[in-house]
Amino acid sequence: MLNSDGLDLLFHNGRTHNVWHDKPVDPALLKKAWDLTVLGPTSANCEPMRITFVTTDEARARLKPCLAEGNIEKTMTAPVTAIIAHDMEFYEKLPDLFPHTDARSWFAGKEEAIKTTAFRNGTLQAGYFILALRAVGLDCGGMSGFDNAKVDAEFFAGTPYKSNFLLNIGYGDGSRLFERQPRLSFDQGAEII
């Protein structure tokens, strides 16, 4: 079991940041977080999450018109914004990722199975990614206040990728955090039967 320092890093002190220190993020940390993320389970090892890391002023300028007004400043000042997407043709990689059976045939031509599996497992991987970012010493702030269709047209035209949410990444200013909001107790949200 993780010691209290590890639990604090990942959960107790892990917060959603909106204000960032002006400190660049080493791309090696993003790669390390990716390498940790892909160790998490997905159904049939399908790994549909795809990430586009927005780091340059040019890329930020492309992203800005896609953002809701309230998300512009925190996104434009974040060292990195990850566009978390899922690959609607993830099944094409299954012969390599799940080679012991013909898992590709479970999805090819089956639109509802593709849509459900890509979204569910891509979102699951994104949760792993948030924890992986915290584990390598980075802060993040997820958000859904943006126009998915605009992001997809601007960043994923001609690809089978569909955006899910945005994740700002960097070194958060802890002095500017909002008070942590209430959470459900075990008895409010879970049961053992």
What is residue 104's predicted lDDT score, i.e. its pLDDT?
98
**Collapsed DSSP state (helix, strand, coil) of residue 13:** coil
What residues have CB less than 8 Å from 9, skipping those under 6 apart? Answer: 134, 135
* 75-90 residues labelled b (16+ CB within 10 A) or e (exposed): beebbbbbbbbbbbeb
Instruction: For the chain, list the domains and their CATH numbers.
Output: 21-174 (3.40.109.10)
User: Helices 111-135 and 27-37, interaxial angle, to 10°?
Assistant: 130
Q: How long a stretch of residues is the chain? A: 193
Walk along the chain (193 residues) and give the pLDDT tens digit of each residue: 999 999 999 999 999 999 999 999 999 999 999 999 999 999 999 999 999 999 999 999 999 999 999 999 999 999 999 999 999 999 999 999 999 999 999 999 999 999 999 999 999 999 999 999 999 999 999 999 999 999 999 999 999 999 999 999 999 999 999 899 999 999 999 999 9
**Collapsed DSSP state (helix, strand, coil) of residue 26:** coil
What is residue 193's predicted lDDT score, i.e. its pLDDT?
98
